Structure 1
């Protein structure tokens, strides 16, 4: 790897576009979490209050009047949102850090593996570094055609998010 250099204006716009895509994904996950919370909070209440007496229902652990019910629901939703973020590999916070630092680096190495993810909106590339560590880099502009494992590539990427700004075969 080389030293870090400054990102150009065009590269900055590419990172901002990737940030917008990640922001939409985060918003979608937040709305999914909110909907699930409403469903998980309402359905037990309907069942509880239609099948039990008012006093017994109010004392139940599944009652909306019980603080532990809300602790459980909110914990479940937060865990679900973070699981969705981890599974889809959102780079939102790292991209924000890159847009502040404005640093990029260049790397030349053979590709270990190429993965297409997130409904063909992102290509992940695994690179084996000289010190035998694997690093994952992200092409945020869809499917990266014509790149296969074992090919030598030169990658220009953002420092913190490892989002690929440009990639060339060697």
Structure 2
């Protein structure tokens, strides 16, 4: 059982900054996704109706009058949603929950893996939980931390639900 304590004002502001960065990332990806979806829906229509007769265009698989086109568009949207989840590491709702609960946890454990994401604006740490064989991923959202390597023993202070790291120190 993990004990949690209340965050300080500084840690609260750090978590608000993480929420702001995550929201920007989600917004950017949604706009890119909408742009790609519009291109995927409009370009085939324009090409079909300018390079063939209306009857031939209506018979095509890429015509908006064909059910296969709508199946393809639905598949495209589903792929975009999963790409949003994978690419942005969406923690928006858990960060908001942390801002309401204001609870943080502290642990001391060895790092299993360290990797950088999102153009080196985020560092992720895989940690083996003490007294168990389970691993957890923790997120440093304030840039790349290059001083930490797998095997280092660290003390991590983190937001309870989102596991955004508020402070990390080598032991």
For the residue of structure 1 that corresponds to 2:148, the secondary structure is coil
CA separation in 2, counterparts of 1:126 and 1:70?
41
1:67 shift after superposition: 5.8
CA separation in 2, counterparts of 1:65 and 1:21?
41
CA separation in 1, counterparts of 2:97 and 2:72?
33
TM-score (norm 1): 0.89
CA separation in 2, counterparts of 1:140 and 1:117?
9
TM-score (norm 2): 0.89
CA separation in 1, counterparts of 2:170 and 2:77?
43
Determine whether 1:141 maps to 2:155.
no
**1:76-115 aligned within 5 A:** 76-115=76-115
**1:1-170 aligned within 5 A:** 2-66=2-66, 69-129=69-129, 130-170=131-171
Gap regions ≥5 residues in structure 2: none
Q: Is the Cα contact below 8 Å between 1:36 and 1:77 reproduced in 2? A: no
CA separation in 2, counterparts of 1:157 and 1:104?
5
Q: Is the Cα contact below 8 Å between 2:26 and 2:84 reproduced in 1? A: no
CA separation in 1, counterparts of 2:168 and 2:102?
18
1:164 shift after superposition: 0.3
Over 6 Å off, 4+ runs: none
RMSD across aligned positions (CA)? 1.9
Q: Is the Cα contact below 8 Å between 1:105 and 1:157 reproduced in 2? A: yes
What per-residue deviation string (whole Å, max 9, x for no partner) do you get for residues 67-92 of structure 1?
65345324413422421331342322
